[in-house]
Structure 1
Amino acid sequence: MALMFQRIARNFARNGYFPTDEASLERVLQALSPASAGRMRVLDPCAGEGAAIAELAHHLGRERVQACGVEYHAERAASMDGLVDRGLQGDLMDTVISPRSMGCLWLNPPYGDLLADHAGYESYQGKGRRRLEKLFYQRTVGTLQYGGVMVLIVPDYALDKELTGWLVNHFTELRVFRAAVDDFQQVVILGRRVRRREAQRSQEAKAMRAQLLRVGSKEVIPEVIPAVWPFEPYAVPAAQGELRHFYRVSLDAEQLADEVGKLQGLWPEAGSVFGKTGQAPRPPVRRLSSWHLALSLAAGAISGVVTAPNGRCLVVKGNTHKDKVAKTEFTEREDGSITETRVLTDRFVPVIRAWEMTPDSPHCGQLLTITSTPAANDGEPEEDDQTADAEAGDAPEPLNRVAERAARPDPRRFDVGRVVMTRAVNELVERGEVSPMALLRRHVTGDWGDVPEEDRQSNEQALIHGDRLLSSYRIRESLTVWIITEADRSATTLLLPEDY
């Protein structure tokens, strides 16, 4: 049963929802026939008071049908419970239903745009316009077994490119009709579910999708569902196995009270839960170090007040997020040309925020950020948000030292722009023979390495006049790495002397 929003109050009927009209219901039932043998199982995930699912079960043979329903509204769900074999009161997004367990899916979902505060907003997997009809379709189509029959009742304007593409990929023998009572611009779509690889790729399937799109754009008005079904009925197949999962994930207060009453407490045997509380906790393999403290803090596992030996007091809270790291690879072709490949990889970035609370400190009240990502600014002025850079792989320092280092001025003397490296240096980095971050840190702070004295003076003048900068670092006796920053500071290159 479809729920409507207040902004389209003209569609309201019967206390905030409206069921499938009786004429359409009767005509759709003519299009369905029971399986020749076996017990069938049917589902209405928006069951309302249960009228449609009850009529469907009666039409197929009540003694051979297991009727299942889900309804959000508590009063309507209470009415539904007396008409179905398995009923759930709650949000469909909060339920678990066994996949491919239903022989027939009666889907008359809520209509309207999907709002950001809806429970299923984040789980919506489409790329088009977010609609409640499409969300409920995504959530329930997997419960229908292959060969099962779907009855979908939606407004015609919900048939966009995305929804029609799903229908053609998931169903065959599709037919679309206008509802017998045309108060809400509804269409009734019937189809039989198939595996996606078995979906028709013929001109017939393309024509069906084009027809659905024309109905959605109101270029074509489909025929009213016939009073006497003129086609071969859709046979509802027998259920395959038992319904292993059909429950709500969370409990409301009444349901929790009912469960507590059934179990005479939260647990039948309290000793199974609390029997080990008197035992001493198992000690760690080794004594926790400052490294463990920093790691736990960065992971967000602990937070609180940290006091340094010099009396500095910080209120800290850690967190970790995922970031993209750009890496440029250079490949030399046979003709001598160089191709550049940009690779993005995921890395986890710890971020520790510290609130300065040292009494009588001139920085009292300031927020410090300690992170492995440079220039993390949170929108505050640079002088109020300092960042400590830490090379990946280095052993973390004690928290008080890291916090003090974060408060110091930025030691960088110039911008490096885009950082690239030659193919030879890249191979050394991958083998772990060169640490580019350590060399870059020395370069940007004015540690020019092993260059001659005249080159040192040239670099100092280049910082004033904007010329090119060159650093040279001897890694070992037979290996030296150069770093060159262009005069406009747009790029910095790591290379070997023989690459120059």
Structure 2
Amino acid sequence: MALIFQRLARNFIKAGYFPTDEATLAGILRLLDTDAAQLRIIDPCCGEGVALAEAKAHLEDLGARVEALGVEFDRERAWHAKELLDAVIHSDIHDVVIGPRTGSLLFLNPPYGDAVSDKAQTGDRAKADRLEKIFFRSTIRSLQYGGVLVLIVPHYVIDEEFATVIARGFEQVRYYRAPEQRFRQCVIFGVRRRSDRPDQGIKAAMLAAARGEADVTTLDENCADVPYLVPQAPADAKRKFHAVRIDAPQLIAELRRLQRHTLWSQFATQFGQTGLSVRPPLKALRQWHLALALAAGQISGIVTAKSGRTLLVKGDTIKSQQRSVKFIEEADGGITEETTMTDIFVPAIRGIDLTPGPDYGAIVTIR
């Protein structure tokens, strides 16, 4: 299938962002197959969304319904990706919640370079960690067991630590050289597995390939390896994909998208009662009726008496205490005083006298 979104991608590198080139992406798609009906694919650093949109189109051509989710830190790229993918969050990956083991495919082309080191050595590590490893550790749990990993990183990042982590959590691991070597990238495929021990064979093979000590296949049009089968998304896994913090533009966009599912369209129905005429009760209110009305804030506004006196009133309920004293005569003739304090709620109405005259503006209290 011809790549249909590459013309939309802008060729710029910023903040460690290296977009997946067309040749590498074409090779990746040739190694992805599926017989599933429903897939969920995730890109935790999706850039402008082009690569994941290509993967979605490719898998949909194979007959699957595909949900594509992306996360991007850069504002401009994130909003471009929102036009291509089903859901994109503009946020730092550490502020995003992705449900564990909910993805069929994890497409991971993380930022390249070192994170900021802890010069003061206030943390566990004084030496800066690689961004590639940080993103891998933060996002790999989102891939279901049996799900397919596509990892694109510079080959020199695959050291003893990184190779051990991959060999522990994945099987059917293959290491390829990217056809475009401007950034010295390799492409690693694998299938997530349940294990707590690294496969030493996989670890050794990756280290040898990364160090140039083994023959490595280039992921180009001549690569005829058996493709990976992307599995069905878990039927019982409810999608959990949201940011811990959200900015105003994303909130506005989300409210517009979900407008039919909110109460905003029913605003007039829910709050239109305030415009109705007030009808007097059939009978005189009792004391507890008055207390409930005051507590609910229903007694307020302009009140005009038959005498012409006008008040701006606001009702409230004040908590007070009622004191009662009881004297108890003991058997020995002594007297004991017992004091009981009972909480009571006293209705109160305060008003401002608006009647023209000497009392204009006076504060009055009605109990």
TM-score between both structures, scaled by the size of structure 2 = 0.61
Structure 1 residue 221: Cα displacement: 6.3
Structure 1 residue 37: Cα displacement: 3.3
Whole-angstrom distance in 2 between the partners of 1:256 and 1:57: 26
Whole-angstrom distance in 2 between the partners of 1:78 and 1:214: 40
Structure 1 residue 76: Cα displacement: 1.2
Give the letter aligned to residue 170 of structure 2.
F
The 3 A distance-change label for structure 1 pair 243 and 223 is same
Counterpart for residue 56 of structure 2: 57
Task: Spell out the pairing of 1:11-26 with structure 2 (5 A cutoff).
Answer: 14-16=12-14, 17-26=17-26
Equivalent position to 2:241, from 237, 243, 246: 246
Structure 1 residue 89: Cα displacement: 1.1
Would you say 1:88 and 2:83 are equivalent positions?
no
Q: Which is further off, 250-259 or 95-104? A: 250-259
Question: Any unmatched runs of 5+ in structure 1?
Answer: 1-11, 282-500
Whole-angstrom distance in 2 between the partners of 1:32 and 1:115: 35
Whole-angstrom distance in 2 between the partners of 1:146 and 1:59: 22
Counterpart for residue 170 of structure 1: 169
The 3 A distance-change label for structure 1 pair 210 and 51 is same
Whole-angstrom distance in 2 between the partners of 1:160 and 1:128: 15
Counterpart for residue 304 of structure 1: none
Whole-angstrom distance in 2 between the partners of 1:229 and 1:275: 73
Structure 1 residue 156: Cα displacement: 0.9
Instruction: Answer yes or no: is the 8 Å Cα contact 1:103–1:144 preserved in 2.
Output: yes
Counterpart for residue 361 of structure 2: none
Whole-angstrom distance in 1 between the partners of 2:319 and 2:117: 47
Task: Spell out the pairing of 1:115-154 with structure 2 (5 A cutoff).
Answer: 115-116=116-117, 130-154=129-153
Give the letter aligned to residue 252 of structure 1.
D
Residues 198-255 of structure 1: per-residue CA shift (max 9 Å, x gap): x6x7xxx423212222334444563312424422211000100344310111022434
Structure 1 residue 162: Cα displacement: 1.0
Would you say 1:207 and 2:201 are equivalent positions?
yes
Whole-angstrom distance in 1 between the partners of 2:125 and 2:238: 28
Question: Any unmatched runs of 5+ in structure 2?
Answer: 1-9, 272-294, 298-315, 321-367
Task: Spell out the pairing of 1:370-385 with structure 2 (5 A cutoff).
Answer: none
Give the SS at the match of 2:218: coil
Structure 1 residue 29: Cα displacement: 0.7
Structure 1 residue 264: Cα displacement: 9.0
Instruction: Answer yes or no: is the 8 Å Cα contact 2:23–2:180 preserved in 1.
Output: yes
Give the SS at the match of 1:87: strand
Counterpart for residue 46 of structure 1: 45
Give the letter aligned to residue 47 of structure 1.
C
Would you say 1:222 and 2:216 are equivalent positions?
yes
Counterpart for residue 394 of structure 1: none
Whole-angstrom distance in 1 between the partners of 2:46 and 2:145: 22
**RMSD (Å) for aligned C-alpha atoms:** 3.4
TM-score between both structures, scaled by the size of structure 1 = 0.46
Whole-angstrom distance in 2 between the partners of 1:138 and 1:278: 56
The 3 A distance-change label for structure 1 pair 214 and 38 is same
Task: Spell out the pairing of 1:36-435 with structure 2 (5 A cutoff).
Answer: 36-61=35-60, 64-116=65-117, 130-197=129-196, 205-220=199-214, 222-241=216-235, 242-256=237-251
Residues 388-417 of structure 1: per-residue CA shift (max 9 Å, x gap): xxxxxxxxxxxxxxxxxxxxxxxxxxxxxx
Whole-angstrom distance in 2 between the partners of 1:70 and 1:240: 21
Whole-angstrom distance in 2 between the partners of 1:44 and 1:255: 19
Aligned length: 254
The 3 A distance-change label for structure 1 pair 100 and 260 is closer
Task: Spell out the pairing of 1:447-486 with structure 2 (5 A cutoff).
Answer: none
Whole-angstrom distance in 2 between the partners of 1:226 and 1:279: 79
Runs of 4+ off more than 4 Å: 125-129, 218-221, 256-265, 274-281
Structure 1 residue 98: Cα displacement: 0.5
Give the SS at the match of 1:18: coil
The 3 A distance-change label for structure 1 pair 64 and 259 is closer
The 3 A distance-change label for structure 1 pair 91 and 221 is farther
The 3 A distance-change label for structure 1 pair 217 and 260 is same
Whole-angstrom distance in 2 between the partners of 1:113 and 1:138: 15
Identity %: 38
Instruction: Answer yes or no: is the 8 Å Cα contact 1:41–1:103 preserved in 2.
Output: yes
The 3 A distance-change label for structure 1 pair 81 and 259 is closer
Compare relative contact order (CA 8 Å, sep 6+) and give the higher one, 1 or 2.
2
The 3 A distance-change label for structure 1 pair 258 and 116 is farther
Structure 1 residue 188: Cα displacement: 0.3
Instruction: Answer yes or no: is the 8 Å Cα contact 2:117–2:128 preserved in 1.
Output: no
Instruction: Answer yes or no: is the 8 Å Cα contact 2:102–2:234 preserved in 1.
Output: yes
The 3 A distance-change label for structure 1 pair 75 and 191 is same
Structure 1 residue 114: Cα displacement: 1.4
Whole-angstrom distance in 1 between the partners of 2:101 and 2:164: 21
